[in-house]
Amino acid sequence: MSALTIGYALLFYAATAMFVGGVAYKISVYARTPQPLKIPTTPAPTTGAGVVWRMFKEVTLFESLFKANKWTWLFGWLFHVALLLVLARHLRYFTEPVWAWVALVQPFGLYAGFGMLAGLFGLWARRFLVDRVRYISGPSDHLMLALLVAIAASGLAMKFLVHTDIIALKAFFLGLMYFSWQPLPASPVLLIHLALAATLMIVFPISKLLHAPGIFFSPTRNQADNPRERRHAAGWSARIDNTRGTTSG
C-alpha cells in the first residue's frame, strides 16, 4: 500500500468525521439556542403548515432572495441547483450497483459542472463590482468562492482534459467505506480535486456554508405569525415564566 493511498485514506476518514461531527454539533447548538422574540418576516404564514410551505419555497426557489435581488438570485440559484446535480452525479463513485436515478442524472450532472462555475463567477463578480457588497466582503467570502471554483475546475479538467482512472477511484472509495483499502490512482488533477474536496468538508462546519442547515433555524423564517393566538415563550423565557409565581419581584 503506497504512502499516497494511506495518506488520502486517513485524510478522508478525518475529513468525514469532522464534517459529520462538526455539522451535527452546530445543528445541536442551533436547536438549543432560544428564540426569545417573535420575529417572523411579515407577511408571514399564520399556521405551522404555512411555515412548512414557506420554508419549502425558500429552500427550493430562494423566494426571498428573488424578491430582494434578481442578479444575486439568478447566480445563486444557478450555483445551488447545479451543485445538487453535480453531487447527485457523484453518488456513482460511492454506490455499487449504481441506483437507476443516479444513472439517469449523469448527463445533467456533467453539464451542471459548467452551470456551477457560471454561478460562482457571477457571485464572485458581485463581490468586486457592487460597492456595498465589496465593502462587507471579507477574506473568507473570497476564499470559499475560490475553493468551490477550484473544485469545479479540477473536476471539469478531469472530465475534459486529463482523464483519470474512475474504476480505480471508485474501488478506493468503496474500499474506504467497507474497510478494505484499495490503491488510489496517482493522477495529479484527481489528487488536487480530492484534496480540495476534503478541505471543503473540514472547513464546512466552521464556515459561512453553515447557512445550509442554518436557514431551518432562522426565526424570521421558521416562526408563524400567531403571537395573538399563542403566547410566545422559548428557552430561558419559558423557565422565568414558570418560576414567576413562586419568586418575589
Q: Which residues bind ligand HEM (CB under 6 A)?
A: 86, 89-90, 93, 109-110, 113, 116, 148, 151-152, 155-156, 158-159, 164, 166, 169, 173, 193-194, 197, 200
Q: How far is the CB of 38 from ligand HEM (least distance, A)?
A: 37
Q: How far is the CB of 178 from ligand HEM (least distance, A)?
A: 16
All cell numbers assigned to 147: 475553493
CA-nearest of 200, 176, 177, 203 to 22 is 203
| Residue 169 or 203 having the CB closest to ligand HEM | 169
Indicate left, alpha or beta for 86 from its phi (over 0: left) and psi (-120 to 50: alpha): alpha
Strand, coil or helix: what is 241? helix
| Residue 148 or 171 having the CB closest to ligand HEM | 148
In this structure, the chain runs to a length of: 249
Q: How far is the CB of 45 from ligand HEM (least distance, A)?
A: 33
Question: Do the beta carbons of residue 173 and residue 94 sit within 8 Å?
Answer: yes
Q: How far is the CB of 163 from ligand HEM (least distance, A)?
A: 6
Q: Which residue is nearest to ligand HEM (CB)?
A: 155
Alpha helix ranges (H) inside 91-187: 100-129, 131-136, 139-160, 166-177
| Residue 51 or 116 having the CB closest to ligand HEM | 116
| Residue 11 or 133 having the CB closest to ligand HEM | 11
Strand, coil or helix: what is 191? helix
| Residue 195 or 215 having the CB closest to ligand HEM | 195
DSSP state of 42: S
Q: How far is the CB of 74 from ligand HEM (least distance, A)?
A: 19
